[in-house]
Structure formats: structure tokens, C-alpha cells
Amino acid sequence: MNHSLAGWDDTIVALATAPGIAAIAVIRLSGNNAIAIANELFPSKNLVQQASHTLHVGLLKSSTEVLDEVVISLYKGPRSYTGEDVVEVSCHGSPFIQEKIIQAFIAQGARLAKPGEFTLRAFLNGKMDLTQAEAVADLIASNTEASRKTALQNIRGGFSNELKELREQLIQFSALIELELDFSQEDVEFADRTRLKELITVLQNVIYRLLQSFRLGNVIKNGVQVAIIGKPNAGKSTLLNALLNENRAIVSDIAGTTRDTIEEVLNINGVLFRLIDTAGIRQHTTDVIESIGVARSMEKMHAADVVLYLFDVNDTTNEQLTDTINELDAAGVQYILVGNKTDGLNASTVQQQYAGNEIVFIAARNNTGIDALKTTLLQRSLSGDINTEDTIVTNARHVAALQQLQTTLADVAEGMQHNIPGDLLAIDIRRCLHYLGEITGEITNEDQLDYIFSKFCIGK
Ligand SMILES: Nc1nc2c(ncn2[C@@H]2O[C@H](COP(=O)(O)OP(=O)(O)OP(=O)(O)O)[C@@H](O)[C@H]2O)c(=O)[nH]1
Ligand SMILES: [Mg+2]
């Protein structure tokens, strides 16, 4: 492991709880001098002599004044979050006190931690691998039940455990093949080719499943972008309001009411949907602002994961709808057709009108059909249930490495089909090992670590 990161030996300090007023705030120190530094400010006891995993109540004092009455938790390395000596000071949660205590620790020789530095140290000290460290950031950022569960699963090592064992088996093969190369004159095979082929197939299946899970992972982590698109007056803003169950957007019978896009978040069964109400699309408008709005609607339509295409069943023929479907297909967007304003109409007559097309019928103004529409949205976005027992890839960095791994595995498989010589096989297997190691962090570089941990908050 590369330990050459600057400031690695420093003792670091940061506020671990959210800034602002609270009943209690926690300030965390980590490093070789953490306990000695805390001890300098804690006259009532000698903390250096206390056992790990113990609590100590007392006054915290700088040379001149009492700072606060606090509770100190001691964790001696390696049995701590970072693997180093860690001191957590629970103080009264005034921002003024928090700042004074941090400054007092800095005066004793601690340095303010960089974003994610506690977790970086945990990673460098082997307390967790890279996917687990990344899951810590995901867990802190999680805002739904589903994102919390997947992050927690990954912190426990769900993802990396799947890959670790396969990596170890591959390392064994790689070692045997390299050994063959030492005996190349004698034409021996230490590495059983049939078993290697089996292992490659297993790996290919695992990688395929993990890559497939990313679509779901992305939905869980980032939510689903849903653009509500349609002609002016179709009832798009009414639908937005009905989905949100509040009067968020202005509704009127004047065509062209919505000028700019409006975005709101909706949680359906633990999945976040980012709903975007757009300006109604009509081809020929002389109104400059409206035409800018239309351009923006088109943009949102292309960026969306799912488009709700809304039309008024009272003034849309099946032929017109077919033209729209052709346009949507040509644009390559995922869409759900929604027929609005069915109130006062006979359900089966309306359905016959659009025979052959799959449509969700609603009356947005009366809240009719909204629950069914939500269910359709959920099904379409998840294509199956969220089973958080399964490993779900949520991280774009992992996807990139998995894709490279997939390509390299295909090279190995093809090479073996053609019985390529061991030295060439060894090169491809080494590349596989490289990508596998990149995911879990056995192979990393400083830039990559900087990038990953800079996205954390300070104090984590
Ligand atoms: N009868 C009936 N009228 C509806 C329904 N939904 C919306 N409307 C009416 O249709 C008109 C237009 O509704 P909006 O929600 O403003 O339509 P929009 O698609 O957002 O229109 P723009 O923003 O102009 O593109 C309003 O008078 C609504 O009250 C419905 O389910 N039934
Ligand atoms: Mg509108």
C-alpha cells in the first residue's frame, strides 16, 4: 500500500457532527498524538493511562480558561474507525464552543482534517476496502430507504466480497501460469486449463450481473428523471400537482401557461422521482419566450429517464397519437402514454378510440388514475423489485472498471479457445487482476484516492 500521502503522520481534528446549534456536538481526533493532545486539555485524569473503549467526564481547559464540560471517548488503534488512536469529544453543541475546542486542539499540534480524511485513513490502514469507503459517503448522502439499504450492504463488504474470492483464485492461476513460463523449454502445464475456463465463465457471469445491477443502482442513488411532456393545455401542470398532492404549478385554461420548467421530487415506495413539468410543445409560435420554453422542454425530454407523454383525449385522434409515438420512438426516449381528461367520458369508448396502444388513462383534475400511474412509473423504472440482499452497483467508477474487466475477460476466453501460449495468457490475466484490484483498492494511485475522498464531507 502506498503510504506516501502528505500529512499521513499528522494528528487530525474535525467536527464530526453537523455545524450549527445542537444539544451535543462531537469533535474527533485521530492519529499518533490524539490521546496525548486531548490529555493536555483534560486535567482531571491522565487519559494516556486509560483503557481503550472507555468514557471520561470532565472539564476541558486551555491554559487560560475552562472551555466546556465534556465526555471523552477513547479508542486505541487499531481498534478504532481509522485504525489509529481516536478520541471523540462530546461537547455542548454551540458553534462557539465547537470552534474554541477545535482551535485549542490545533494549538496543541493537531491539524484540521481534509474532507474524508478519517475514512481515507481507515482505508489506508486496511480497516475497509475502497468500495466500503465509498459506501460510507453514499450512506451519509442516502435520502431514501432503498439508498440507505444498498449503501449499508456495501459498507458490510457485499460488493467486494463477491470479487475478492474470484480475484484470489485468479491470482493462483496467474502464479501457476507464470511458473510454466520458467519451464518453457519443457512444455509443461501447471495451470489446469479446464478449471481456468470455468473460473473465467464464473467471473464473466458475476461481472455481467453486477453491470446489469447498475441501472437499478443508479435509480436508487440518483432517482429517476421524469419529464412531463405534451401539447399546451394537455394538463401537464395539473398532473404534476396531482402527483405531488399540492398546488405547486400554476394551472389555467390559457395555452402556454407554463413557460419555464418546474422540478420537484416525489418519493414512490422509497424511490425518488425527479418530476419535471415543462412548457407545452407546439410547433408554430411567434412568442419568443414560449419558443425558448419549447426548446427547453425538448432538452428535458431527451435528458429524462422516462417521459410521461400527456395528451387530452378530447382533442387527440388515434392517428395524431400514432404520429406522436413515431416521433417519440425516433427520438429514442423511454415513454409512458398518458391520456388525460377522461372525466365525464365512457371508459370503454375512450379505450376503443385508442385501440392497439398501451395507455394509462387519468383525469388529473379529479385525481383519477394517479395511483395507477405511479405504479406504472415504478414498474417501468425498476424492472423488478429492489432486493437489497443482492449486490447492487451504484458507483460509476466501479462500472467503468467492470466494463474494462469484461472486455479483458473476453480476451482471455478467446485466447484460451485458440490455445494461445502461456506468456500471452499471463498478460491478459494480469490485466484482469489489475481491474479487479482497482475496484476494491488493492491497486490505486494517489490521484484516484484524492478524487474519491474529496467528495466526502469534512469530519468523516
Ligand atoms: N376536464 C378536465 N380538465 C382538466 C383536467 N386536467 C387539467 N384540466 C384543465 O386543463 C387546463 C390546462 O391545464 P394545465 O395543467 O395548465 O395544462 P398544461 O399542460 O400545464 O398547459 P401549459 O402549461 O399551457 O402547456 C386547465 O383549465 C385545467 O383545469 C382533467 O383531468 N379534466
Ligand atoms: Mg403547464
Atom of ligand 1 nearest to the CA of 258: 23
Nearest CA to ligand 1 atom 27: 253
More confident residue, 182 or 417: 417
Reading the block at residue 365, the C-alpha cell is: 383534475
Edge-to-edge strand order for the sheet containing 271-277?
262-268, 271-277, 224-230, 306-312, 335-340, 359-361
pLDDT at 273: 92
> By mean pLDDT, which of 137-141, 180-184, 194-198 is the weakest?
180-184
pLDDT at 432 over 50: yes
pLDDT at 420 over 70: yes
CB 240, CB 287: distance < 8 Å:
no
pLDDT at 342: 96
pLDDT at 232 over 80: yes
What does pLDDT average to over the chain? 87
pLDDT at 285: 63
pTM over 0.85: no
Task: Label residue 3 by pLDDT band (50, 70, 90).
Answer: very low
3-class DSSP state of 444: coil
Cα 209 from Cα 390, distance rounded (Å): 10
Ligand 1 centroid – CA 344 distance (Å):
15
Instruction: State the average pLDDT over residues 271-289.
Output: 81
pLDDT at 387 over 60: no
3-class DSSP state of 265: strand
pLDDT at 156 over 80: no
Cα 261 from Cα 252, distance rounded (Å): 16
Cα 404 from Cα 433, distance rounded (Å): 11
Q: Which helix (H) or strand (E) holds 341?
A: none
Instruction: State the average pLDDT over residues 380-392.
Output: 63
3-class DSSP state of 144: coil
* DSSP state string for 93-132: --HHHHHHHHHHHHHTT-EEPPTTHHHHHHHHTTSS-HHH
Nearest CA to ligand 1 atom 23: 258
Cα 131 from Cα 102, distance rounded (Å): 30
DSSP state letter for 174: H
Q: Which helix (H) or strand (E) holds 335?
A: strand 335-340
Cα 1 from Cα 9, distance rounded (Å): 15
**Cis amide linkage into residue 78, ω under 30° from 0:** yes
Task: Label residue 2 by pLDDT band (50, 70, 90).
Answer: very low
pLDDT at 186: 65
Ligand 1 centroid – CA 291 distance (Å):
20
Reading the block at residue 397, the C-alpha cell is: 467508477
Instruction: State the average pLDDT over residues 222-236.
Output: 92
pLDDT at 25 over 50: yes
Task: Label residue 30 by pLDDT band (50, 70, 90).
Answer: very high
Give residue 160's identity as a one-letter amino acid code: S
Nearest CA to ligand 1 atom 13: 235
Ligand 2 centroid – CA 257 distance (Å):
5
Residue appearing with cell numbers 406522436: 324
pLDDT at 185: 65
Other CB atoms within 10 Å distance of the CB of residue 71: 14
Task: For residue 99, give Cα distances in angstroms to 40, 59, 73.
Answer: 17, 16, 19
pLDDT at 437: 87
pLDDT at 53: 97
pLDDT at 389: 57
Alpha helices in 304-395 (DSSP H): 318-331, 347-353, 370-382
pLDDT at 331: 87
> By mean pLDDT, which of 216-220, 299-303, 368-372 is the weakest?
216-220
pLDDT at 188: 66
Pocket of ligand 1 (CB under 6 A): 230, 232-238, 251-253, 255-258, 279-280, 340-341, 343, 363-366
Other CB atoms within 10 Å distance of the CB of residue 245: 10
Ligand 1 centroid – CA 256 distance (Å):
11
116 sits in the region (left: phi over 0; alpha: psi -120 to 50; else beta) called left
Task: Give residue-wise pLDDT tens across range 110-152.
Answer: 999 988 899 989 988 988 888 888 888 888 877 777 778 778 7
pLDDT at 260 over 50: yes
Cα 213 from Cα 158, distance rounded (Å): 13
* Phi–psi pair at 289, nearest 5 degrees: -65, -40
Residue 204, Cα to own-chain centre: how many angstroms?
Answer: 24
Task: For residue 390, give Cα distances in angstroms to 179, 201, 229, 387.
Answer: 37, 20, 35, 6
DSSP state letter for 51: P
Nearest CA to ligand 1 atom 12: 233
pLDDT at 1 over 50: no
Cα 450 from Cα 46, distance rounded (Å): 37
Task: Give residue-wise pLDDT tens across range 336-345.
Answer: 999 999 999 9
Task: Give residue-wise pLDDT tens across range 158-181.
Answer: 777 878 888 888 888 888 888 777
Ligand 1 centroid – CA 79 distance (Å):
62
pLDDT at 4: 42
